[in-house]
Amino acid sequence: MQPNLRIYFILFTMVVNANSSSPLVSVILPVRNAETTLHQCFSSISSQSLKNFELIIINDGSQDGSVELIKRWMRRDKRFRLLNQPTLGLVVALNQGIKLARGDYIARMDADDVMYSSRLQDQHQFLKKNSHIGLVASQVKVFPKERLTDGFSEYIRWQNNCLNCDDIADEIYVESPLAHPTVMFRRCLINKLGGYRHGDFPEDYDLWLRMSQSGVKMAKLPQVLLDWRDDHSRTSRTDPRYSRQAFDQLRADFLAEDPRINTHRPLVYWGAGRKTRKRANLLIAKGYKPTAWIDIDPRKIGNKILNVPVVAPAWLEQKSKTGNKPFILGYVANHGARDIIAAALHKLNYKRGIDYLMVG
């Protein structure tokens, strides 16, 4: 433990020891300058139908009135706990919360979101009944509606439809299939994986990819259990760790280790546009050169990229007839176009996760 956190840990432990009964769920909530949204967030947590939980609030060096508001709520609800730390960042705050958690299940929450009253109970019951599942999330509703762009709306539609274990495992390279503040996972699992990692990448997406690569089954309840605030100043919109380049590099790093493409089957990349090639080059640099590029643009067909031919989709049909099906990586970014590609592949008896994967 870092020396400047030791005294805070001791004080926190003394408070927890005064109430020795272990909660079922530990809610981890990092806070930094969230005074304007905390009251609504805390109200939603305090009114949960599952009563046996603890809320671990990690104050990451707030300079507004957050701490005073937190202390008022602590007097009102004894399940609320506070750990103060200097401004050390989200990853440190999350890992400190995990270290202090006493529940067998850990739920994430953000200081500007609102959870529905049955959230903790529904997710806890699901994990208890499904011992083979390591993590469960939920669908979300974004607010305020007037800030919802067409692109983000399409992302939410896609994410809300990634529900079962296969959906999440097979679509995980498209975008992050889970809203971070909706997840609940087993404490033993996160400890085994070593918690959240520091790096030039989004810490939540990195965790989902590590879980998937480790064989962890992840699922999503088919109901909205969280109102997800869309704010232009939120970290995911301003921090370079959440940039498009960071996501692309992280995807390539994990895709290169995915056993589904580490076979003797030839690789084919669907999409030969400039932006597609830029993303695909990250995987090609790791030694995964395609045997062909597929595109529907007649101006591209017949050209060569990296001395590899660009072919029409009909080329795949010919390959399928010979029984020599390549593995397809669909690098087209548009959600609607991906649906069209998937439909075309299914007609050729290509199976998602076995014969092809989509990559965002």
Q: Where are the alpha helices (DSSP H) in the chain?
A: 3-17, 35-46, 66-76, 90-100, 119-129, 150-160, 165-171, 187-193, 203-213, 235-238, 244-255, 274-284, 314-321, 335-347
Mean pLDDT computed over 252-257: 98
pLDDT score of 236: 62
Q: Which band of pLDDT confidence, cut at 50, 70 and 90, is reported for residue 3? A: very low
Residue 47's alpha-carbon distances to 39, 53, 189, 311, in angstroms, are 12, 11, 27, 58
pTM: 0.92
pLDDT score of 231: 79
pLDDT score of 146: 83
Phi, psi (rounded to 5 degrees) for 228 = -105, 115
Mean pLDDT computed over 21-26: 95
Q: Which of 164, 176, 175, 171 is closest to 220 using CA atoms?
A: 164
Kindly report, residue by residue over 305-345, the tens digit of the pLDDT.
Answer: 999 999 999 999 988 777 789 999 999 988 889 999 999 99
Average pLDDT, the chain: 92
Kindly report, residue by residue over 111-120, the tens digit of the pLDDT.
Answer: 999 999 999 9
What percent of the chain lies above the pLDDT cut of 70?
92
pLDDT score of 206: 98
pLDDT score of 14: 38
Residue 55: pLDDT over 90: yes
Distance of CA 215 to the CA centre of its chain: 16
Mean pLDDT computed over 122-139: 98
pLDDT score of 336: 86
Report DSSP letters for 87-125, one per residue.
S--HHHHHHHHHHH--SSEEEE--TT-EE-TTHHHHHHH
pLDDT score of 13: 44
pLDDT score of 10: 42
Q: Walk me through the domains of the chain, giving residue ranges and CATH numbers.
A: 3-250 (3.90.550.10), 256-358 (3.40.50.720)
Q: Which residues contact 125 (CB under 8 A, 6 or more apart)?
A: none
Distance of CA 288 to the CA centre of its chain: 25
What percent of the chain lies above the pLDDT cut of 90?
84
Tokens 């493409």 -> residue? 261
